[in-house]
A and B are shown apart, each in its own frame.
Chain A
Amino acid sequence: DIQMTQSPSSLSASVGDRVTITCRASQSISSYLNWYQQKPGKAPKNLIYAASTLQSGVPSRFSGSGSGTDFTLTITSLQPEDFATYYCQQSYSILYTFGQGTKLEIK
């Protein structure tokens, strides 16, 4: 199976900050990388697919980049509603896998 490793596991930031979350795959996954946001008690929400394509309705302060094994999710100008847990997920293999998650907390 392809292993997905996110860093950091947790992150403290302030409203207005720019933050970057990294996701690394154990082998090349081309651009088959998706990002999700999850708030407590809620289902995950797809933010970005195919590494850099913004899902419809997602604010433009979210962006994704990368290909091969290294990927980043960047949030510019953090808003109060952005404090949540973020997951990456690969869909290169028919056996999908998620990263372990990055919890973004208010400083």
Chain B
Amino acid sequence: QAQLVQSGGEVKKPGASVKVSCRASGYAFTSFLISWVRQAPGQGLEWMGWISSYKGTTNNAQKFQGRVTMTTDTSTSTAYMELRSLRSDDTAVYYCARAGAVAGHMDVWGKGTTVTVSS
């Protein structure tokens, strides 16, 4: 069955960068988008952006413009999300999710990667 496996938790200092990976299996990787969603402690879901696994096209929420880079490696069916210039309010669980290019719903989710930003 379709599955997304994310990399382990990270602790970073303010100003640093973090790169989270998301390895897909059990489906045709290039047939779907990979969306990134984060959730700060006790808060709701926040959509960050998506990448087309086929074309590499990306779209990001304006809030993250210039600070986030999303990439994919089709040879390993892995998506990556790099967030730079980390601040304490970037502390959150970061999820990757598979999304259909037409309906846009996120039907397969990774278990999440906790990123803690602390001095």
**How distant is the Cα of A36 from the Cα of B111 in the complex, in angstroms?**
15
A14 contacts the other chain (CB 8 A)? no
Interface membership of chain B positions 7-37, coded 1 if the CB is closer than 8 angstroms to chain A and 0 otherwise: 0000000000000000000000000000101
Given the known inter-chain contacts A43-B110, A44-B109, A94-B59, please indicate yes or no for A49 contacting B44, CB distance below 8 A: no
Is the Cβ of A46 less than 8 Å from the Cβ of B107?
Answer: yes
Is the Cβ of B106 less than 8 Å from the Cβ of A34?
Answer: yes
Q: Provide the residues of chain B in CB contact with A100, threshold 8 Å.
A: 44
Using C-beta atoms within 8 Å of the partner chain, give the interface range for chain B: 20 to 34
**How distant is the Cα of A12 from the Cα of B103 in the complex, in angstroms?**
31
B105 contacts the other chain (CB 8 A)? yes
Identify the interface centre among A45, A91, A94, A97: most chain B CB within 10 Å of its CB. A91
B104 contacts the other chain (CB 8 A)? yes
Is the Cβ of B103 less than 8 Å from the Cβ of A98?
Answer: no
Interface membership of chain B positions 44-57, coded 1 if the CB is closer than 8 angstroms to chain A and 0 otherwise: 11110010000000
Q: Which residue of A lies closest to B109 (CB)?
A: A43
A5 contacts the other chain (CB 8 A)? no
Given the known inter-chain contacts A43-B95, A43-B112, A96-B50, please indicate yes or no for A87 contacting B107, CB distance below 8 A: no
Q: Provide the residues of chain B in CB contact with A101, threshold 8 Å.
A: 44-45
Is the Cβ of B62 less than 8 Å from the Cβ of A1?
Answer: yes
A50 CB contact (under 8 Å) in B35, B103, B110, B112: B103
Q: Provide the residues of chain A in CB contact with B45, threshold 8 Å.
A: 36, 38, 44, 87, 89, 98, 101
Q: Provide the residues of chain B in CB contact with A1, threshold 8 Å.
A: 61-62
Q: Provide the residues of chain B in CB contact with A99, threshold 8 Å.
A: 44
Contact residues, A70-98 vs B (CB, 8 A): 85, 87, 89, 91-92, 94-98
Is the Cβ of B103 less than 8 Å from the Cβ of A49?
Answer: yes
Is the Cβ of A45 less than 8 Å from the Cβ of B103?
Answer: no
**How distant is the Cα of A89 from the Cα of B105 in the complex, in angstroms?**
8
Is the Cβ of B105 less than 8 Å from the Cβ of A98?
Answer: no
